Amino acid sequence: MRAARLIKMVLLLQSRPAMTAAELARELEVSERTVTRDAQALSEAGVPVYADRGRTGGYRLVGGYRTRLTGLHRGEAEALFLSGVPGALREMGLEDAASAARLKVSAALLPSLADASRTAAQRFHLDAPNWFHEPRTPELLPDVAEAVWDDRPVTARYRRGEREVVRELEPYGLVLKAGVWYLCARITGDVSHRVYRIDRFTEVRPGTGRFERDPDFDLPAFWAERAEQFARSLLRAAVLVRLSPVGVRRLPHTADPGAAREALAAADPPDADGWTTVTLPVESEEVAHTQLTALGPEAEVLAPGTLRARMAADAARWAGLYRD
């Protein structure tokens, strides 16, 4: 325990010109007296720790004592500090490891690049969850993450509707999508990969040994394909809509963007009035009503008749509200 603390103290001093005893005590979570003893121990071991006395004093390394990473320029150093997502690392139980890694890198960088972590953090921040949703970390996420990192199979109990199923899984990768964690895994003995919501796991037990990963598996490509398939699977209905030029421009912002682009690409040229008729895939008539209402008078529903009648009733109510 003390050896790890001494190493961290050296790395802290390498990453900064000087630190007070209070600052070191806060970073190392010890007392200032312990900092003094640790500094003396490092000095006796040959590490050139120098203590400045007085109110403005502190500890620093002398004699150019530094381990350097060569070949990194500023852009590469700043990109390195963007590679971790603090919230996600914390939820997976990897925050301490990531913090230690960043500290080691900071200590090894050339002095001219020492501020790379600060400049990167001030220019980019990832806030993954959706608005108006309280993010909740799945209780079993750290266990799943550990299995993913270790290529270790797991026995998982998973909620599917009103029942629970048990699966022997080979966990390949984790995805954080809009505040929800997903596991991409392969059922043991199967060749295809599937997606599981981690908040639906009720039990995860690690297996023995390690599974052999498919070397051709590409997590980003797999997720992109599955996400597109999922989005398309939701579009089970279609509506016939006539759009003004303004409606054409606004449709991708009110309806599913992919469905809107495909509908517009397949449409015939505009009519004599400049209006375009499209067949728009939608999740349901209820969803279509919400989406097309946002277009106001820039869209006319032609079919189905039930939706057209609903839009006409809405229009009559609007007219009544604004009659004066």
Mean of pLDDT values over 295-303: 95
Cβ–Cβ < 8 Å for 243, 267: no
The interaxial angle of helices 305-321 and 285-293, nearest 10 deg, is 40
Query: What is the pLDDT confidence band of residue 89, given thresholds at 50, 70 and 90?
Result: low
Residue 196, Ramachandran bin (φ over 0: left; ψ between -120 and 50: alpha; else beta): beta
Instruction: Report pLDDT for 162.
Output: 85
Q: What does R_g of the chain's alpha carbons equal in angstroms?
A: 29
Exposure of 33 by Cβ count < 10 A (0-12 exposed, 13-18 middle, 19+ buried)?
Answer: exposed
CA distances from 304 to 116, 155, 237 (A): 58, 48, 10
Say which range, 139-153, 186-200, 224-238, has the weakest mean pLDDT: 224-238
For residue 297, the model assigns a pLDDT of 94
pLDDT digits 0-9 by tens, 252-293: 999 988 889 999 999 999 999 999 999 999 989 999 999 999
Q: Which residue has the higher pLDDT, 207 or 63?
A: 207
Q: Of 61-70, 71-80, 86-95, 103-112, where does mean pLDDT reach its minimum? A: 71-80
pLDDT over 60 (residue 163): yes
| Range 24-41 average pLDDT | 89
